[in-house]
Chains A and B, each alone.
Chain A
Amino acid sequence: QQQVKQSPQSLIVQKGGISIINCAYENTAFDYFPWYQQFPGKGPALLIAIRPDVSEKKEGRFTISFNKSAKQFSLHIMDSQPGDSATYFCAAYTHNFNKFYFGSGTKLNVKP
């Protein structure tokens, strides 16, 4: 059973556009939601994270929107750049089990 469902699987955006990746979860015990960025052949790198007591967090061009009642959260990349082309993973963590559950990833391609 997949704990975190991520969509879309792949995304093509023009340079300067907005990239939006969505995730949904079921377990209300999750209390921390990070996003990771992964380039080919590299390990995932933490991009931005949010706790469920806030509805939005912004860091530079990256914003997480969090909807606790819908059990959904999304990553918005403003002014997308070719250098943003990577695979993005959402994740959810519960301190009850000290484990992170990852989505299946979204491969983003930003065209120049």
Chain B
Amino acid sequence: DTGVSQDPRHKITKRGQNVTFRCDPISEHNRLYWYRQTLGQGPEFLTYFQNEAQLEKSRLLSDRFSAERPKGSFSTLEIQRTEQGDSAMYLCASSQTGNSGNTIYFGEGSWLTVV
């Protein structure tokens, strides 16, 4: 499978705990995006990387959220001190800059439930 891979697919955690999600983009893609999606809503932009550089962070991304892409390949999204409002699906997507670089491809998402 050469698509975007996310892990874990589902996570249930207690409020106050830290969680980390991993995303492996399509191998030749240099851009990586994180989005959040709640039920009945479209994906909301959180942050994106070009190679290892984090170029933009949404105001939705509070200081409890941190994302990294240390070697320009996989990325992690960590949520510290989780709150019930963090319950959502966290989507990773990737793209390649260039003529067809407008197209982003999503992973299957990581569902987070904070209890």
Contact = CB atoms under 8 A, between A and B. Distances in A.
Interface in B70-103: 91, 93, 102-103
B102 A43 contact: no
A100 B56 CA distance: 13
**SS class, residues of chain B in contact with chain A:** strand
A98 B48 CA distance: 9
A104 B103 CA distance: 19
B56 A104 contact: no
Nearest to A4: B42
Interface in A40-78: 41-46, 49
Nearest to B10: A41
Nearest to A49: B103
Given A93-B102, A99-B48, A43 B42 contact: no
Interface residues of B, number: 25
Interface of A: 4, 6, 31-32, 34, 36, 41-46, 49, 89, 91, 93, 95, 97-105
A8 to B, nearest CB: 13
Given A32-B102, A44-B91, A98-B55, A103 B42 contact: yes
Contacts of B48: 98-99
Interface in B40-87: 40-45, 48, 50, 55-56
B103 A102 contact: no
A36 B107 CA distance: 13
Nearest to A32: B102
